[in-house]
Amino acid sequence: MHMGRKEEVFRPALLGKNVPIVILDQKWHLMFAETGKPEEIVSLEQELNELLKRQGKLNSRSKEMHKIKTKLMDEIVSLMPQDGSNPDKALQKKLDENKRLINECNDKLAAESEELLDIPKEIDRVNYELMLLTMEYCYEQIKDNTKEIDEISKWINQVRIDLKKNVVKKQKKEIYNKTMYAYMHDIFGADVIELFDMQYNPEQSKKQRSVPQNEIKGD
């Protein structure tokens, strides 16, 4: 599914809006329950998922680095001689090691700080494009469904008209058959009428439709 002519309508409508991360909303997934997700939407969804995972990993690592750095700095403070004298060789080695580890933490934090700043922007960009595709998808689905609803409504209305016509037609033919049967019975008599191949006998049909009252009452 490619962005269509409605993009110029949807894009300005989203400007300045705080668009939520759509893939984190279960209702967003339910919109595709019947048709499945188009390929372009699936691709952007996967890209957004990877960005969110990467952001989570970077945030966790950053917090861990800050914890380690704080612990190392606290150790340096606690290890320094309280009387202001110079540390001995073993202590100095420990202090130097802590300083080296602190520098490593600073280097790692600096290396990932730019990505930590850029990744939210990338998440917003992909999520924005995904929202545009979703709106385009919904528009097309609603348009197609509305067209089919209109066609079905026309069919239902025509069936109702045909049904009414056929009910009237059926009633007229039943009255005609009953009248013709009565005339034939009066003119030719019952014995002659029995010679006809009567697929429809109004009197017999009437008897079959009638249910004795004692049967209804269960007598």
Interval 13-60: pLDDT, tens = 666 667 789 999 999 999 998 889 999 999 999 999 999 999 999 988
Cβ neighbours of residue 48 closer than 8 Å, sequence gap 6 or more: 21, 23, 123, 126, 127, 130
Nearest C-alpha neighbor of 44 from the set 127, 158, 140: 127
Q: Which domain holds residue 15?
A: 7-150
> Is pLDDT at 145 greater than 70 in this prediction?
yes
pLDDT tens profile 161-212:
999 999 999 999 989 988 988 888 888 877 777 766 555 555 555 554 444 4
Asked, for residue 109, whether it belongs to a domain, the answer is yes
Asked, for residue 25, whether it belongs to a domain, the answer is yes
The two three-digit tokens of residue 134, written as one number: 């979703």
pLDDT at 48: 96
Asked, for residue 69, whether it belongs to a domain, the answer is yes
pLDDT at 192: 72
Asked, for residue 157, whether it belongs to a domain, the answer is no
As for how many domains the chain has, the answer is 1
Q: Which one-letter amino acid corresponds to residue 212?
A: P
Please state whether the predicted TM-score (pTM) of the whole model is above 0.75: no
Percent of the chain with pLDDT over 90: 34
Asked, for residue 187, whether it belongs to a domain, the answer is no
pLDDT at 180: 87
Asked, for residue 190, whether it belongs to a domain, the answer is no
Asked, for residue 124, whether it belongs to a domain, the answer is yes
SS3 126: helix
pLDDT at 79: 77
CA pseudo-torsion sign 79, 83, 86, 88: negative
SS3 212: coil
Asked, for residue 90, whether it belongs to a domain, the answer is yes
Q: How confident is the model at residue 218 (pLDDT cuts 50, 70, 90)?
A: very low
